[in-house]
A = this chain, B = another copy of it.
C-alpha cells in the first residue's frame, strides 16, 4: 500500500469519516479507520455500530503507487493530518503493520491494527432509493431533534419518528414532557414509518451542514442509508412502534399570546437565573401569569436564593382571561430557539394542560410543552 494525497483533500475526508468513530467502545478495533486502497481510488470506513460512514476519494489529488489496506488508529491519524504543514502527504504500509506518513519535514510511524479483526460493515444496496433535498432534512433536525428523550427508559423516544404517507412527511420527537412536530409536503409518494436515533441525526447534520443538493436515501432491514457526493452515511433505526401522539395535541385554545421571540428568550434567561438548579426541587421551573391589567409576568421562586419577576409586553392583544401556568424554562427556551421567525404565538388550553408554541408564518411546525403543578 502506497499513495500520495493532497493534505486538504485527505483532511476533508477524515473530518467526515471520524464522525463514525465511537467515543467509547467494547471493541477497540472500531477506534481505527479502515483504509482500502484500490487501483484508482481509496475508501475510508468508520463505524460505532450505530452509525457507519464510508468516504471515497479519487481524482487528481491522489496518486496511487500500490494497492493495499489497513486499519489506522483513527484519532491519531486525524490529529497528525490536521497538524501537518505540507501540501501533500505520502502514506505507505511498512512490513504490513506500520503506517508511514511522510510530509515535507515530518515523518510519523503509526502501529496499525489487524485488518482481519475489523467487522464487516454492510451498507444497504441502494437500488430502491429516493431523493430528498438536504435542506429539508437539515431543517427537520434543527427544529425537532432537541425534543428527543436523552435517557433510555423508553428507547423508542430517543429517536425522531419520520412518517411519510401520500407525500406528507410528519416528523415527531418527544421525551414525554414536551413534543416537537413538523409537517412537510414532499413531491414524491414514497411511504415509510421509521425512527432515526437522535444522536445519528446530530452527526448527520454536521456532515451535511454545507451541502444544499439532493440526498439519495434508501431504507431497508432496520437501517437507513444516505448517499451524497462521495459520502455514504448509514445508521441503524430504532425498533418498535412509535406512540401515536396526535391525540395529545390540543385543538382549542382559550388563551393566546403573541411574543417577540428574542425578547421572550432574554426574559426567560433572566428569570431562570434564580430558578432552583436541583433536579428534585422544581428544577428550572418558572411561572407565566396573565394579569388583570393585560400584561404578562414571568416569575421564579427559590426559597434559598430569592425571587425574580419580569414583565413582558406581548406584541398583540392578549386573547383570553386572567391565567397562570408553570413549566420548565429550558423546554420553552429550547423550543423558541428552534424557530426562524421572530414572532411566535403561545396557545394555552388550561392551567394544567399542555400548551403549544408556533409561529404565524409557519403552521407546519409546532412545539408542545406539558406544564407542572405548583402551589
Contacts and interface: CB of A to CB of B under 8 A. Distances in A.
A133 interface: no
A304 interface: yes
Nearest to A111: B306
Interface residues of A, number: 30
Interface string A87-99: 0000000000011
A76 B306 contact: yes
Interface stretch (A201-209, A265-273, A322-330, A361-369): A265-273
A23 interface: no
Interface string A102-133: 00011111110000000000000000000000
Given A105-B311, A105-B312, A106-B310, A80 B305 contact: no
A290 interface: no
Contacts of A66: none
A83 to B, nearest CB: 5
A307 interface: yes
Contacts of A191: none
A274 to B, nearest CB: 7
A172 to B, nearest CB: 34
A64 interface: no
A312 B104 CA distance: 11
A135 B334 CA distance: 45
Given A83-B273, A84-B270, A273-B80, A107 B308 contact: yes
A79 interface: yes
B108 A308 contact: yes
A59 B173 CA distance: 55
Residue with the greatest number of chain B CB neighbours at <10 A, chosen from A83, A98, A105: A105
Given A266-B85, A269-B83, A308 B274 contact: no
A371 interface: no
A311 B105 CA distance: 5
Interface string A296-335: 0000000011111111100000000000000000000000
A98 B270 contact: no
A308 B98 CA distance: 12
Contacts of A83: 266, 269-270, 273
A304 B111 contact: yes
A73 interface: yes
B79 A273 contact: yes
Contacts of A308: 106-109
Contact of A305 (B84, B110, B309): B110
Nearest to A311: B105
Contacts of A273: 76, 79-80, 83, 108
5 contacts: A80-B273, A105-B311, A108-B306, A109-B307, A110-B274
